Amino acid sequence: MANKNLKVQKKTLGVLKIEGEFKKNTIPDIDIGDSIKISILIQEGARERVQIAEGVVISKNNGQIDRTITIRKVLQNVGVERVYLIKSPRIKNIEIIKSASVRRAKLYYLRLRSGKATRLKQKFD
């Protein structure tokens, strides 16, 4: 039993060491309902450029190194959702535009709404 616990401790120390290499300290506190701008590094052939994605955070999955958020935006009357890995080296900057006061952990109900019905109540700090 003690030998098994020692193996688990060694494994978690190894995982923590690897995660420490990819740790980012510049990530703001993102909540569900926040409108955010994400600057993403896009590679096109031999050159790289920064593309900005903007939208509302409808879900968040908290993990250690694999923390993700789902962003929803409407482009040309079509809803687009994309999942971003927060600690990815491809993400250069995350900026919170405004925060919303929501009472749910996932805002999947926004998929069924359009226009003014998708507005969220703004949170003032």
CATH code, domain carrying 72? 2.30.30.790
Residue 118 domain flag? no
Does residue 36 fall inside a structural domain? yes
How many domains is the chain partitioned into structurally? Answer: 1
Q: What is the pLDDT along the chain (125 residues), one digit of tens a residue?
A: 566 666 666 667 777 777 777 677 778 899 999 999 999 999 999 999 999 999 999 999 987 778 899 999 998 889 999 999 998 889 999 999 999 999 999 999 999 988 889 888 988 87
In a domain, 52, yes or no: yes
* Residue 123 forms part of a structural domain: no
- Three-state DSSP at 81 gives strand
Q: Which residues are CB-contacts of 97 (< 8 A; sequence separation ≥ 6)?
A: 34, 35, 36, 37, 54
Domain that holds residue 66: 29-111
Q: How many residues does the chain have?
A: 125
